């Protein structure tokens, strides 16, 4: 039997449950919204490949499924007894905030049926969920003062605490400025200040992947100092990006044509970072453009 890290995302309509579920998906969780709680055990019986990259499963469950309150406790207790690590995240906000959000989005509250208005529906839902909130919630998050980014950061921290941290996917991309800066680059460094192998006849035909060009670039004036200072900066910045909840980081390294200097330097930066950040890839975007 597969044992999972399971998060149940529940709480008041309009409080940010959809945003929280999306944040769990970004953190590497398989996410399912509005699954009937009585089907949860059956869902977990579905075989999962041993090499699955998912860190766990997050389910969005609330009063949209009207049998939820009658059945959830029995189902949750059964999952815990089976060995699953189950946590219930209850998300809420004050009445004024929820009323404003429903007004802004023009969405209908699931309990606002017949002549019942939004405020009455919000209060009814709050009362019906009170036992779940007070007796079963592992964590209560009040989003009354939250924006989307703050809620996503809160969820990222929760997901990281439940596993061995959230892996940051890093891409190091060499490129030529004459062909444009990569659109997805978060950080760009210009290495056109380094001596250019393009003007050395025996080096010009080769790329920065060749040992001769690589040695020329790395042993040039200022290269060692630059690499030392720039990798020190990256060693400081990248953990800060992780702490902020960033999941993808693209580092652009540019020279004129993207064939010599940027290739050699991007390779060195990649080799430096991969010891600490294993989920990293190296791409030489323009290495063949001048051929």
Q: What's the rounded mean pLDDT across residues 50-54?
A: 61
At residue 162, the pLDDT reads 58
pLDDT-based confidence at 258, cuts 50/70/90?
very high
**Whole-prediction pTM:** 0.61
- How many structural domains are present in the chain? 2
Instruction: Tell me the pLDDT tens digit for each residue of 71-93.
Output: 999 999 999 998 888 999 999 99
Instruction: Tell me the pLDDT tens digit for each residue of 226-248.
Output: 999 999 999 999 988 877 767 78
User: How far is 160 from 29, CA to CA, in rounded Å?
Assistant: 11
Judgement on whether residues 30 and 133 belong to the same structural domain of the protein? yes
Closest of 25, 124, 37, 140 to residue 91, by C-alpha? 140
Judgement on whether residues 254 and 157 belong to the same structural domain of the protein? no
CATH number at residue 9: 3.40.50.300
Bridge-partner residues for 187, per DSSP? 251
User: Which domain range does residue 263 map to?
Assistant: 169-284
Rg (CA), the chain: 26
268 membership: H or E segment, kind and range: helix 261-273
User: Which range (25-29, 141-145, 176-180, 270-274) has the least confidence?
Assistant: 25-29
Judgement on whether residues 52 and 134 belong to the same structural domain of the protein? yes
In a domain, 48, yes or no: yes
151 membership: H or E segment, kind and range: helix 148-161
At residue 52, the pLDDT reads 59
């Amino acid at each position: 039997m597969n044992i999972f890290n399971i998060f149940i995302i529940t709480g008041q309509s309009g409080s940010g449950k959809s945003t929280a579920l999306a944040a769990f998906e970004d953190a590497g969780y398989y996410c399912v919204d509005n699954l009937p709680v009585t089907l949860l055990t059956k869902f977990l019986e579905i075989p999962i490949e041993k090499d699955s990259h998912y860190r766990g499963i997050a389910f969005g469950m609330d009063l949209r499924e009207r049998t939820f309150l009658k059945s959830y406790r029995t189902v949750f207790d059964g999952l815990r007894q089976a060995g699953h690590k189950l946590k219930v995240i209850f998300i809420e906000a004050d009445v004024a905030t929820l009323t404003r959000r429903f007004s802004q989005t023009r969405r209908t509250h699931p309990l606002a049926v017949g002549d019942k208005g939004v405020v009455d529906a919000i209060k009814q839902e709050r009362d019906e969920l009170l036992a779940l909130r007070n007796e079963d919630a592992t964590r209560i998050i009040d989003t009354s003062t939250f924006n989307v980014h703050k809620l996503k950061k809160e969820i990222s921290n929760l997901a990281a605490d439940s596993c061995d941290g959230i892996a940051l996917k890093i891409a190091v991309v060499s490129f030529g400025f004459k062909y444009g800066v990569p659109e997805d680059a978060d950080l760009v460094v210009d290495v056109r200040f380094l001596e250019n192998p393009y003007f050395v006849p025996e080096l010009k035909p080769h790329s920065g992947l060749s040992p001769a060009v690589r040695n020329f670039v790395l042993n040039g004036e200022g290269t060692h100092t630059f690499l030392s200072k720039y990798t020190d900066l990256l060693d400081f910045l990248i953990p800060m990006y992780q702490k902020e909840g960033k999941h993808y980081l693209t580092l652009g390294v540019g020279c004129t044509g993207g064939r010599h200097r940027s290739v050699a330097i991007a390779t060195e930066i990649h080799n430096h970072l991969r010891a600490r950040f294993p989920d990293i890839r190296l791409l030489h975007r323009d290495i063949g453009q001048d051929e």
